[in-house]
Structures are given as C-alpha cells and as structure tokens.
Amino acid sequence: MSDVKPPAEDGGLEVNVVEAVASRSHLLKRATVAGGGVVVGGLLVAGLPKVAASAPSRAQDVRILNYLLRLEYVMTAFYETAAAEGQLSGEIEQFVSVVGEQERKHVALLQEILGRDADPEPAVDFGDRTNPDRVAETAHTLEETASAAYIGQGANLTKGVMIDAARITSVEARHAAWIADILQRHPAPAAADPAKSPKQVVVAVRKLGISISG
Amino acid sequence: MQRPSSNTPGLTLEQLDQDGAIQEGISELYGSTRADFLRKAVLGGGALIAALSVPPEVKAAAASDVRIFQFGLNFEYLQSSFYTETDRLGTIDAMAPRKAHWARTLGAHERAHVAIIKKVLGPAAGKRPFFNFRGNTETEDRFTRTAVAMEDLTTALLTGLTPKLQDQGLAAAAFSLMTVEARHAAWARHLVGVVPVASAFDEPKSLDRVDRIVAGTRFISTLRPRTTTSGDPRFTG
C-alpha cells in the first residue's frame, strides 16, 4: 500500500474553491447557533472534525448532529415545496412523497436525540429548483450530498448515536440510488463511496442556487 | 430456498478464475495493477484510504474489530462468488443490457470489497470458503430474487456492525462500504419494481443473526474451517 497516497487534506480542489468563496463574507453569512456552534453558508458548522480525526464527545455529537439536522431540514423543505407546487407525476411524484416523508422522520429522530440542543429550522430559498422539470435532478444532488455528509461524520459520533446515524446513512444512499436510476444515471458509481467534508457539502448545495438563512 | 441436489457441484473463485477472467474484469474496471485498482476503487474515499494506508492500525485494533472484518470478508466472499458464478454461467449474458449492467457492477464492487477487506486484515484474512448456490445463479429470476435479499441483508449487517467497531478509522471505512451495499439494494429493488426504500431507517441485524440467516441458505459449505474433508468431488470447470 506504500504507493497509495492519501488524498489532499480535506478533499483538495473543491475545498480551495470554498475557501475562496468563504473569504467573500457577503456570500456566506455566519451565524452563531445553539451550543455555540458557528454556521457558515446556512449549513457548515465551523469546527467539525475531519473524517475519523477527533475523539467523540457529547459536545461534538451536538455540533455534528446539528449539521446533519440542517441538511435534513433542507431536504424536507425541498420535498414539501416541490409537492405543494404540484404538477409532479409518475415515479417522481412517488419519489417525492415517499422520500419526503422519510426525511421528515430523520428530522424528528435527530431532534429527539439533540433535545434542547437542536437548532431550529432555517429559512430556505430554493429558487427555481422546485420547478417540476428540475426536481429530480436537484433531489439527486441533495441525496448524494447528504449520503456523503453522513459518511464524512458518522465515525466521529459517540457509539450510541452512531447507530442511529448508520440507520439513516444507508437510507440516504438508497434515496440517491433510486433517484439516479430514475434519471438513468449510475446508481452505484463506486465500490466505496467517498465522504464529503462540511465545506464540500456547502459548495454542493450552493451550486444548486439554494440559499439557507438562520 | 431450493432443495439442494445431492450432486450439485461446489465452486470456488480460484477454480472459476483459472483463466484469469475475474482479474481481467477488475483490470478493465479499475486499472492494470492492484494498487491502481485499489486507488480507483476508493475514489477519493479519504476514510478508506486512511484505514488502508495504516496497516498497524488493524494489528493494534481490538480483537472484536478483527472478528467483525473477518465475518465481513466471508460475507463479501459469498456475494462476490455469487455474482462471478452467475456471470460465468452465462446467466448475465442472457439479461437485457440495463439489467446486465446492474449485475456486473454489483459483481465488480463485491470483488473490490473482498480485496479491500483482505488488505485491511492482512495475515488475519481468512480463505475463501466453498460455495454452493443451489441453482440460484442459473436463471435470471432466481438470481435476481437472491440478489435483492442478499443486498438488503448486507445493508442490515453493515448498519449493525459499523457502530460496533472500536477503531474510528475502520468505522469510517465501513460507512463508505455500507452506503454502497445500500445502493445495490435500492437499485436491485427498483429493477424488480419494489419500492427501493422500505422504511425511513434501515434496521440493523447483528452478526449472529446474519450468521444464522446465511447458514439457513446453506450457500457456504465451510463458513468455519472444518477438520474433515468432504467426500464429494469438486467441480473444476
């Protein structure tokens, strides 16, 4: 394995992009939230550990779970908005209905684990992403991003909480594969799924033109 | 499960791969050298590379971690052999292109998982057991039904085992594999017209539970090393 080199720390190129974006503070609003965490771009909780890089603790659990909860809030709101706008049909309509309900349950479980430490739901502007012809493509990016976000943080949680994270992680991956197959994209593009760092997650969501505040 | 015929042959991957077809397949997908294959198989999965590139980690890891990965390896052996045998028998060739693509992708991934876990375990890696899939690799219908069940079961297994790993790097690597099995399961279900996500949460299954389920299929003839040898002739071609 000596010729297998670890990747550039924290994922390489994309991170450089987000650093450049982050330096323009008018683009990425910062806010202090419950537990003293700092939210950047509506999603990223500053100070989250890298993959398998920090000893688990309850305080760290709170930061990680709030970061994941925010992603679940965004997905839940996305499917609710898409469904409310109507005009969906066929399998996309079924996907939005089934998956939207499941994301709501993820929100509920994370809120339950966090208790009083749970962040409130942010306001999200989806732009034209909930237009019927953009729903599937947007859902695919969101689900892939969520799955990679859980992979990136799952092992940093304390054991009791990691079990619940694992039960959600595999479901996010199922969502990603389902919507990929609907779109005739690759449902399982790699033998091992790469993790995304919080910064990469923020970039992926921002690229969709989705803005999150609060 | 189909009653076994007394003269159903057992197959091993080594026997199947006498002409190097599987290695060739891996090379096509992942590049010509093993190192290159591994590098591409993880596709930037920092977690996995971290776990793989620090071999002492698994040596120093808790005995329970080694046991978990050994069981995981046996399960990956089971899956990879199942897909490889199905391909070898021509069952995949007879499928529609979209379905054949699915079946071959799953086979390639499971073979990659075997390589990855063997690398993680090093000398602690067990040998590939003998398998008898009892006709389930021979027709598209039986293959598909078995694959759906197998992928759902693997997802439940990894969901249950990942949080039990003591080593954080190994747990991170397990997350990267778990989602792939979940994708396989969802993809398989979608192909057969079943909702790919039955529930908001995947329910974990314990190692013992999965062990019993696998034992019930009688697919593995030597899940644990046996001291006696089978009198049955082994299938060689």
pLDDT, tens only, B96-105: 999 999 999 9
Write down the pLDDT at residue B56: 36
Residue of B43, B178, B183 with shortest CB distance to A187: B183
In this structure, what DSSP letter does residue B221 have? S
Token pair in block for residue A112: 């339950």
Range of the domain at B133: 16-217
Q: Do A52 and B47 touch (CB under 8 A)?
A: yes
Distance CA A184, CA A168 (A): 24
CA of B197 vs chain A CAs: smallest distance (Å): 6
By the 8 A CB rule, do B102 and B147 touch?
no
Q: Do B41 and A191 touch (CB under 8 A)?
A: yes
Write down the pLDDT at residue A35: 52
Distance CA A48, CA A38 (A): 10
pLDDT at B31 over 90: no
pLDDT at B201 over 60: yes
By the 8 A CB rule, do B146 and B216 touch?
no
Q: Which helix (H) or strand (E) holds B106?
A: helix B97-121
- B64 Cβ partners below 8 Å, 6+ apart? B164, B166
pLDDT at B23 over 70: no
pLDDT at B88 over 90: yes
CATH assignment of the domain containing A197: 1.20.1260.10
Token pair in block for residue B199: 């529930």
CA of A78 vs chain B CAs: smallest distance (Å): 17
Write down the pLDDT at residue A149: 95
Q: Do B197 and A162 touch (CB under 8 A)?
A: no
**B6 in any annotated domain:** no
Q: Do B199 and A171 touch (CB under 8 A)?
A: yes
How many domains, in total, are found in chain A? Answer: 1
**B4 in any annotated domain:** no
Residue recorded with tokens 């076994």: B4
Can you give chain A as a three-state secondary structure string? CCCCCCCCHHHCHHHHHHHHHHHCCCCCCEEECHHHCEEECCCEEECCCCCCCCCCCHHHHHHHHHHHHHHHHHHHHHHHHHHHCCCCCHHHHHHHHHHHHHHHHHHHHHHHHHHHHCCCCCEEECCCCCCCCCHHHHHHHHHHHHHHHHHHHHHHCCHHHHHHHHHHHHHHHHHHHHHHHHCCCCCCCCCCCCCCCHHHHHHHHHHCCCEEEC
- A106 Cβ partners below 8 Å, 6+ apart? A72, A76, A168, A171, B200
**B95 in any annotated domain:** yes
CA of B172 vs chain A CAs: smallest distance (Å): 5
Residue of B171, B197, B203 with shortest CB distance to A178: B197
Distance CA A143, CA A187 (A): 12
Between residues 37 and 66 of chain B, which touch chain A (CB distance below 8 Å)?
A: 38-39, 41-53, 55
ipTM at complex level:
0.84
Write down the pLDDT at residue A31: 59
Write down the pLDDT at residue B218: 86
**B227 in any annotated domain:** no
pLDDT at A1 over 50: no
Kindly state the percentage of chain B with pLDDT values over 70.
68
Between residues 72 and 101 of chain B, which touch chain A (CB distance below 8 Å)?
A: none
**B89 in any annotated domain:** yes
Q: In A, which residues are within 8 Å of B39 by CB distance? A: 4
**B117 in any annotated domain:** yes
**A167 in any annotated domain:** yes
Nearest to B101 by CA among A83, A189, A202: A189
The sign of the torsion formed by the CA atoms of A59, A65, A70, A76 equals negative
Q: Determine which of A193, A199, A200 to mutate to test the interface with B (most B C-beta atoms within 10 Å).
A: A193
* Residue in chain A lying closest to B53 (CA): A1
Residue of A168, A182, A188 with shortest CB distance to B180: A188
CATH assignment of the domain containing B152: 1.20.1260
Q: In B, which residues are within 8 Å of A167 by CB distance? A: 159, 201-204
Q: Do B53 and A175 touch (CB under 8 A)?
A: no
Write down the pLDDT at residue B143: 95
Number of residues that make up chain A: 214
**A135 in any annotated domain:** yes
Write down the pLDDT at residue B60: 59
Range of the domain at A118: 25-213
- B203 Cβ partners below 8 Å, 6+ apart? A167, B156, B159
Kindly state the percentage of chain A with pLDDT values over 70.
78
Between residues 72 and 111 of chain A, which touch chain B (CB distance below 8 Å)?
A: 98-99, 101-103, 105-106, 109
Q: In B, which residues are within 8 Å of A173 by CB distance? A: 178-180, 182-183, 186
Q: Do A162 and B171 touch (CB under 8 A)?
A: yes
Bridge-based pairing state of the strands A123-125 and A211-213: antiparallel
**A1 in any annotated domain:** no
**A19 in any annotated domain:** no
Write down the pLDDT at residue A164: 97
Residue B179 has φ and ψ, to the nearest 5°, of: -65, -30
What is the pTM (predicted TM-score) of this model? 0.79
How many domains, in total, are found in chain B? Answer: 1
Q: Do B43 and A106 touch (CB under 8 A)?
A: no
Token pair in block for residue B155: 């997802």
Complete DSSP assignment for B5-32: PTTPPPB-HHHHGGG-HHHHHHHHHH-S
Q: Does A163 touch chain B (CB under 8 A)?
A: yes
Average confidence score pLDDT of chain B: 74
